[in-house]
Amino acid sequence: MKFTDVQKIKILAFDTSCDETSVAVLQGRRVLSSVISSQVELHKKWGGVVPKVARRAHEENIESTYKEALTRAKTSIEEIDAIAVTYGPGLAIDLEIGIIFAKELALKYNKKLLPVNHMEGHLLSSLLLNSKGRGKFEKPIESAFPILGVLASGKHTELIYAKSPGKYIKLGKTLDDAAGECFDKVGRMLNFGYPGGPVITEFAKKSTGKYKFDLPIPMEKSGDLNFSYSGLKTACLYKVNKLREEGLKDSDWVYDFCREFVDVVIKSISIKVEKALPENPDIKTILTGGGVYNNEKIIRDLQKVAKNNNKGFLFPEKRFRGDNAAMIALAGLRMYKDSEYISDKTEIQKLDRVPRLELGN
Ligand code: KG4
Ligand code: ZN
């Protein structure tokens, strides 16, 4: 089946993999509603996501978020064709809340259940259309393939090759920290609070270029398509301590530091993309996804790489860059058209979380 064969299908989707309780309704590729109940304020005082605190918030919010998603989509549970839910990767006790809720609905209302890999959601997020059917890529999804997926989120930095939707092969991944994680950890060193990524991005824009820090480009010479950010993190810690020991005020150098940090992270990703493209010459389009793309510079730089290599380039709309359930619904729709759903009640009951689920290994 093709995506055009399922354009009337309505999917209700849940994502509770981290610190957002999100529920969405999709009809075909059109987002009828996408409701995100964010917990950022809750976790700020701890300097990071506390799984137990997130779980309690998911429990408190999921019912109302679900109801709001149906209301905003002007639909009812009876009209839903299938229910999608993230079953991994993510925080174990948080994934559970979405899974329990989705399972109960599927059993009560006799719906098919679609267990979605969160990273397939990020990968397809740029292919979502608004409720009127408008978006960056309105042609049939299949015509974008073969693709190179370049994923950058809080826990993942990955290159994925796919000849067609659903057929994922991992070309490279991080050996330790993810790019987003590195943003957050360096943000903490700079006393930016949680999450540090957005603050680094904003500060980088104010750089005057007065100070240079010689930060290393991670995995520049590794010869493969993998990533690693713990070395950069350590290098940053060393530099920051040294600058402070020298008695320089943070406000003197911090904007330049953020700029250079952003530049080396982007470079670490763009050199791998430049290496992956000639190795897989049938790639037509680069698909990007994940919270780190809230930094617009990485979008612009990768867009240039795509252009220089005569490849298409797609990036998600702002509201679909961080975690959201609309992207989970689209991955669910892909699975629905490929008959990858569970309809047997005993099988539905058995669905469990897989916190370390991989995409395309
Ligand atoms: O995709 P995402 O929302 O959640 C995961 O699945 O992990 O990604 C979250 C990550 C965090 O590390 C956060 O710091 C980073 O995305 N992030 C940013 C920005 N906004 C969020 N990084 C750089 N610049 C931003 N503006
Ligand atoms: Zn995510």
- The model's pLDDT over 10-65, given as tens digits with 9 standing for 90+, comes to 999 999 999 999 999 999 999 999 999 988 888 888 888 999 999 999 999 999 99
pLDDT at 207 over 90: yes
Instruction: State the first-to-last Cα distance of the chain, in angstroms, to the nearest integer.
Output: 24
Given the CA of residue 118, which atom of ligand 1 is nearest to it? 6
285-289 sheet: strands from edge to edge:
168-173, 157-162, 147-152, 285-289, 312-314
Q: Say whether pLDDT at 127 is over 90.
A: yes
The answer, yes or no, to whether any atom of ligand 1 lies below 6 A from the CB of 322, is: yes
pLDDT score recorded for residue 266: 98
More confident residue, 361 or 349: 349
Share of the chain above pLDDT 90, in %: 96
Q: Tell me the helices (H) and strands (E) count for the chain, helix number first.
A: 11, 10
Angle between helix 296-308 and helix 250-279 axes, rounded to 10 deg: 30
| Residue whose CA is at the smallest distance from ligand 1 atom 16 | 291
Closest CA to 12 of 68, 96, 92, 60: 68
Burial class (CB in 10 A: 0-12, 13-18, 19+), 5: exposed
| pLDDT for 332 | 99
The 10s digit of each residue's pLDDT in 240-277 is 999 999 999 999 999 999 999 999 999 999 999 999 99
Q: Ligand 1 centroid vs 353 CA: distance in angstroms?
A: 23
pLDDT tens digits for range 284-304: 999 999 999 999 999 999 999
Please tell me if the CB atom of residue 158 comes closer than 6 angstroms to any atom of ligand 1: no
Cα(112) to centroid of ligand 1, in Å? 31
* Pocket perturbation via mutation, ligand 1, pick of 39, 43, 118, 183 by most ligand atoms within 8 A of CB: 183
Give the distance (Å) from ligand 2 centre to CA of residue 209.
32
Residue nearest (by alpha carbon) to ligand 1 atom 21:
291
Tell me what the mean pLDDT of segment 354-358 comes to: 98
> What is the C-alpha to C-alpha distance for residues 351 and 361, in angstroms, rounded to an integer?
21
User: If pLDDT is split at 50, 70 and 90, which confidence band does 152 have?
Assistant: very high
Cis peptide before 195 (omega within 30 of 0): yes
Ligand 1 proximity of 195 Cβ (cutoff 6 Å): yes
